[in-house]
Amino acid sequence: MTTICARLVWPTGCRGGGNCIGDLLRWRWRMTEKILFVDDEPNVLEGLQRQLRKEFPIEVAIGGERGLEAVATEGPFAVIVADMRMPGMGGVEFLTRAKERTPDSIRMMLTGNADQQTAVEAINQGQIFRFMTKPCAPEALTAALRAGLDQHRLITAEKVLLEQTLSGCVKVLCDVLALVNPEAFGRSSRITRYVEAMATQMGLTNVWMLRTATMLSQIGCVIVPEGTLRKVYRREALTPEETQLYKQHPYLASDLLINIPRMKEVADIIANQDVYVDEHGAPHGVMGKGAVPVGARILKVALDFDAIESSGLSKTLAFRRLRERRGCYDPAVIDALKGALADEIKYEIK
C-alpha cells in the first residue's frame, strides 16, 4: 500500500494517507468534468488555459462556429463559458445553440459590455447561470467555475435519480400486467422488437421512449377480461359491450401515465396507438387535428402486424396483408417494417 501511495499525484494541499482518500476521489471526479471556453481572441484563451489548467480540465475554441464543433466532437462539457462579443456568431447565439445540443451543460458569459439589456438577452435566450464582466479577477472566475460544476453535479444527480425511479416504475407496471393479464403482457413483449427495429430503420434517436411506450401500451388491458383479449388477438368477433370496453384501454393507460414525470410523450403515443392515419400522418376522420405522433404510427403498425401474424399467417403473408391496406398507415413506417423483416422472411417481399 505504501508503494502505491508513493506513486500517486495528490491534489494540492493533500499530503497523502488515508485522510486524503476522499479528497483524491473528489479531485479525480473534478478532473473528468471538462470546461469549454469560447472566445475570438487566441491570447485570451491561452491566458485562461495557463491560469486554470492546474485546477480544471480546460478546452478552448476560437469563435462560435468552432465552439459548436467542440460541443459536438469533444463534449460533453460540464461548463461552457463564452465571450459576449465575437464576430459572426455572438455569445448569446452560441450559448443558445449550445443549450439545444447539450441542455445539461452549465452556461456562463464573459463580457466587457455590462449593460442591462445585454444581461437580459443572455439570461433569457441562453439561460445563463452566471454573467461576469471583464476583466474578471482570477479568484472570482475560479469561484464561478466551481459553482457551475456544483450546479452541473446537482442536475446530473437529479437526472440519474429520476431515470432510476422511472425505470423502476416501468418495471413495476410491466410486472403487474404480467401477473394480471399475461395475454396482454405477451403481446407487448412480442411487438417490442419490431418497434425498436422500425425506429432504427427510420433513424429515430429516442428509442427508449418508444420502447417504454410499447412495453406499457397494453397496461390499460388490466380492465379487459382475458377471454375478450383472446378474441381480439385471434381476430374473432366481439360483442358491442366487449368492443366498447376494449377501445377504452389506450385512454386508461394514457391517463395513468401522463402525470408521471417525463412520461407525457409516452402517454401520447399510447393514447393514439389504435389510430389509422393517411400518408401525411393525419388521423382518419378528424378534421383540423395535427399529425399523430410518429411513435404511435409505428406502434399501430406493429400491433396490426402482430395481430395478423397471430391469426396463423407467415410473416411474409402478414406483411403483404398489411401493405394492402392502403391509406391506413404511414408509408414510411411500412417501409421501415419491410426493412426490419428483411432477415426473417423466407420469400422476397416485392
Q: Which residues contact 347 (CB under 8 A, 6 or more apart)?
A: 316
- Amino acid in position 3: T
d(C-alpha 127, C-alpha 148), whole Å: 13
d(C-alpha 104, C-alpha 159), whole Å: 9
CATH assignment of 181-340, given 3.80.10.10, 3.90.660.10, 2.40.50.140, 1.10.3210.10? 1.10.3210.10
Q: pLDDT value at position 236? A: 84
Residue 220 has pLDDT above 70, yes or no: yes
d(C-alpha 251, C-alpha 260), whole Å: 15
Exposed/middle/buried for residue 10 (C-beta within 10 Å: 0-12, 13-18, 19+): middle
d(C-alpha 321, C-alpha 306), whole Å: 12
d(C-alpha 21, C-alpha 205), whole Å: 40
Residue 40 has pLDDT above 70, yes or no: yes
Give the alpha-carbon dihedral of 228, 229, 231, 233, to 10 degrees.
Answer: 170
d(C-alpha 273, C-alpha 279), whole Å: 16
Residue range 64-76: mean pLDDT, rounded = 91
d(C-alpha 332, C-alpha 321), whole Å: 17
- Amino acid in position 208: W
Say whether 181-340 and 32-156 share the same fold.
no
Question: 283-340 pLDDT, tens per residue?
Answer: 875 544 678 999 999 999 999 999 899 888 899 999 999 999 888 999 999 999 999 9
Residue range 154-179: mean pLDDT, rounded = 85
Q: pLDDT value at position 81? A: 95
Question: 96-127 pLDDT, tens per residue?
Answer: 899 888 888 999 998 876 556 666 666 666 57
Nearest alpha-carbon partner for 299 in 271, 280, 339: 271
| Higher local confidence (pLDDT), 144 or 126 | 144
The domain made up of 32-156 is a member of CATH 3.40.50.2300: yes
| Higher local confidence (pLDDT), 133 or 44 | 44
Residue range 164-178: mean pLDDT, rounded = 88
Question: What are the residue boundaries of the structural domains of the chain, listed by start?
Answer: 32-156, 181-340
